Structure 1
Amino acid sequence: MAEHTSTRWTEVLLTALAPAIWGSTYIVATELLPPDRPFTAALLRCLPAGLLLTLFVRRLPARRDWGRLALLSALNIGFFQALLFVAAYRLPGGLAAVVGAIQPLLVMGLAWALDQRRPARLAVGAALLGIVGMAALLLSPGAAWDPVGIAAALAGAACMAAGTFLARRWRPDVPVLAFTGWQLLAGGLILLPMAWAIDPPLPALSALQLLGYLYLSLVGALLAYALWFRGIARLPSVAVSSLGLLSPLTAVILGWALLGQSMTGLSLVGLLMVLGSILAVQWAASPEAGGKT
C-alpha cells in the first residue's frame, strides 16, 4: 500500500510539472516574444512540436480513433488555446484564471452526468476553495467583467475540462508521445488560419525571440503536453484537472521572483488556499479515499 501511494504521488508530481511549465508562458511571452501576436505564439508553440513528435514516433492511430482524436485535438489544443488568448486579452488582472478555476468542478459534473460517479463532498469543497483562493490571489478591486471575455474564459474552461475527461475515456491504443503529437499537430492546424487572419506578420526575429519560441514549443508544448497526457492516462481526471490551477499560481510566483511584482498578504492567503485545494482534491481522488473520477 505504501509503495502504491508513493508511486501515485510520483505520478502527481510529474503531471504537475506540465501546468508549472505553462505558468512560465506569460513571462516568456511578455519579456521575449514580439507583442500582439497571441495566435501566432499559440501556433508556433503547438504545430512544430506536433510535427516533431509525429515524425519521431511514426505511429498512426487506428482508423476508428481518428474522429475522436480530431475532437480531442480541438478541445485540448485548438479551441482551448484560441479561447484562452481571447479571454486573456479582454479580461484584466487574473479574472480569466479565476473563471478557468472551475475546470475541476466541470470534470466532476461530466463524470457524474456520463459515468454516474457522484463526486465526493471533499472534492467539491476543495474545488470551491480553489476558486476562492484564485480570486484572492489574482483579482483586483473593480475588475471589469467583459461579457465576451467571460464567455471565452468559460468556454475555454469547458473545452479543457471536456478534453481532460474524454482523453482518459477515449485514449487510443498508441504510445503517449504519439497521442500527444497527433493532438498538437491537429490543434496547430486549427490555429493556423486564426494566426494568419488575425495576427500581424512576424518581424525579423532576434536570437532571444527565437529562443522564446523554441522554449514554448519544445518545453511548453512537447514536454509539458506529453507529461499532461501521460498523467491523464494514469490518474483520475479530476485530479489531473485540479493540477491546472498550478499554472496561474506559477505565473504569479515567477512574476514576483523575476519581475519584482508585488504580493500582498491577501495574495499569500490565496496562494495557500489554492495549494490546499489541489492537495485536497488529490487526496479525495486517491484510492485510499475511495476516489475514482
Structure 2
Amino acid sequence: MEDTFRWTLVTAIAPIAWGTNYFVTHEYLPAGHPLYGAVFRALPAGLLLLALARQLPQGVWWWRSLVLGICNMGAFFALIYLASQLLPVSLASTIMSAAPFTMALFAWGLLAERPTVLVLTGAASGIAGVVLLLGAGPAAVDVRGVAASAAALTMSSFGYVLAKKWGRASIASTSWQLIAGGLVLIPFAVLFEGAPPHLDLPAVAGFAYVGLVATALAFTVWFAGLQRLSAAKVGLIGLLNPVTGVLLGVLVSGDVLVPRQFLGLALVLLGITLSLPRRGPRTRPQEGLAPARGKPSWSLPNQLDVTE
C-alpha cells in the first residue's frame, strides 16, 4: 500500500503540471498557431527524453509508438486547442473531466480492470465538482467544439489504456510517442498555418517550461503511474488538472472563489480521495526474503521490455 500511495503522489505531478500549462499558454505563448504550438511542445520534449534514454524503438514498437503518439499527443493537442477556441473553457474542461469514466470503461474492456464502486462514486463526485468549480453552462455551445472535446477525451483515454496494455512505461517509450506525435503534426502545421510564428524571449521561456515540465516530466510520470495504478484511479487523479488551473488563477491573477466553487473544490478533492489506497492489515515479510538492492521500486524505469 505504501508503494501505491507513493505512486499516487508521483502521478499527481502530471495533472498539476498540466493545470499550470493553461496560465503559461495564455500569458506567454503566441496565439493563433495551435498546430505549431503542439509541435514546439512535443518535439523538443521528445528529443530531450530520447537523448536521456538513448534507445530507439524495436520491432512492433515502431508502429505502436506512432499509434500512441497520435492518440496521446499529436491529435490530442490539436483537438484540445480547437475545443478551447470553440467552447468556453469551463465547458471544454467539464467534458474532459469525464476521463475517469472513459478510462475505466476502456480499462474494463482492454485490461479486465473492473471499476470499483468507490472509484465510480469518486468519478461522479469529481465531475460534479468540476461543473461547480468551473461553472459550465448551456450558453454558447458549439457542436463542433463539443465534438472536438469528445474526440480528444475518447482518443486520449483509449491511448492511455492502450499504453498500459502494451508495455511497461519508460522514458524511452514516452520520447517515441512525443516525437511521433510532433512529426505527424508538422505537415498539417505548414499546410494550415504557413510559416512558424516568431518567438520572443518570453515565448521561448514559456515553451521551455511547457516542454520540460508540462510535457516531458508530466507524461513520463503519468505513463509510469498508469503501469502501477488502475486506469480508473489515474483518471481520478487527473481531476487535479482543472483544480490547479483555478487555484493558480486565485494565487496569480487575483481571482476570487465564490461559495459554489468552494463546494466544487471539495467534491473534486473527495472524488480523488476515494481513489486513494485503503489501509489493510500489516503483513510481515516472509523470513529469508530481503528487498532487492539497487533502484527503489518506485523509480522511473528507463528501459522497456519489448520481447513480444
CA distance in 1, matches of 2:67, 2:126: 28
Of 233, 243, 261 in structure 1, the residue corresponding to residue 255 of structure 2 is: 261
Q: Judging changes above 3 Å, is the alpha-carbon distance between structure 1 residues 244 and 66 closer, same or farther for their aligned structure 2 residues?
A: same
- Provide the residue aligned with 2:13 in structure 1: 17
Q: CA deviation at 1:152?
A: 0.7
- Specify the alignment match of 2:238 in structure 1: 244
C-alpha offsets along residues 199-255 of structure 1, whole Å, 9 cap, x if unaligned? 364454322221111111111111111111111122211111222111111111111
> How has the CA–CA distance of structure 1 residues 235 and 132 changed in structure 2, closer, same or farther, with 3 Å as cutoff?
same
| C-alpha distance in 2 between matches for 1:70 and 1:200 | 24
Whole-Å separation in 2 of the counterparts to 1:17 and 1:117: 24
Identical positions, percent: 36
**Structure 1, residues 234-284: CA drift from partner, whole Å, max 9, x if none?**
22111112221111111111111101123211011111111111121334x
SS in 1 for 2:89: coil
SS of the residue corresponding to residue 255 of structure 2 reads coil
2:165 maps to what in 1? 169
CA shift at 1:79, angstroms?
1.4
Moved more, 52-61 or 225-234: 52-61
Q: Give 1:148 deviation, angstroms.
A: 0.6
Question: 1:93 touches 1:139 (CA, 8 Å); kept in 2?
Answer: no
The 1:225/1:111 distance shift into structure 2, 3 A limit, reads: closer
8 Å Cα contact 1:164/1:241 also seen in 2? no
Tell me which residue corresponds to 1:228: 222
Q: 1:176 to 1:115 in 2, by over 3 A?
A: closer
Aligned to 1:198: 192
Question: Unpaired segments of 5 or more residues in structure 1?
Answer: 289-293
Of the three residues 83, 86, 89, the one matched with 1:90 is: 86
Q: Distance in 1 between matches of 2:210 and 2:110?
A: 35
Higher helix proportion: 1
Match of 2:146 in 1: 150
What do residues 60-87 of structure 1 show as CA deviations (whole Å, max 9, x unaligned)? 2221222222211111111111111111
Which amino acid is 1:240 matched to?
Answer: V
**Any unmatched runs of 5+ in structure 2?**
281-308
Going from structure 1 to structure 2, the CA distance change for 1:203 and 1:60 (only over 3 Å counts) comes to closer
Contact 1:95/1:143 (<8 A) preserved: no
1:135 aligns with 2:135: no
Query: How many pairs align?
Result: 281
Which range moved further: 189-198 or 74-83? 189-198
1:170, CA displacement in angstroms? Answer: 0.3
User: Which structure 2 residues correspond to residues 50-65 of structure 1 after superposition, within 5 A?
Assistant: 50-65=46-61
Shifted more, 47-56 versus 60-69: the winner is 60-69
* Residues 247-256 or 232-241, more deviating: 232-241
Name 2:103's counterpart in structure 1. Answer: 107
Partner deviation per Cα, 1:30-57 (whole Å, 9 max, x = no partner): 1112222222222111111111222332
Partners of 1:195 and 1:265 in 2: how far apart? Answer: 43
Give the one of 95, 117, 120 matched to 2:116. Answer: 120
Q: CA deviation at 1:158?
A: 0.7
Contact between 1:15 and 1:228, CA under 8 Å: does it hold in 2?
yes
Describe the shift of the 1:141–1:159 C-alpha distance in structure 2 as closer, same or farther (beyond 3 A): closer
RMSD: 2.0
2:213 matched to 1:213? Answer: no
Q: Which amino acid aligns with 1:212?
A: G
> In structure 1, what is the Cα distance between the partners aligned to 2:184 and 2:276?
33
Larger Rg belongs to: 2
**Counterpart of 2:274 in structure 1: which amino acid?**
A
- Counterpart amino acid of residue 164 in structure 1: Y
Query: 1:94-129: per-residue Cα shift (whole Å, max 9, x none)?
Result: 111100111111122123333444322221121111
State the secondary structure of the residue aligned to 1:282.
coil
Letter in 2 for 1:218: L
Shift of 1:183: 0.5
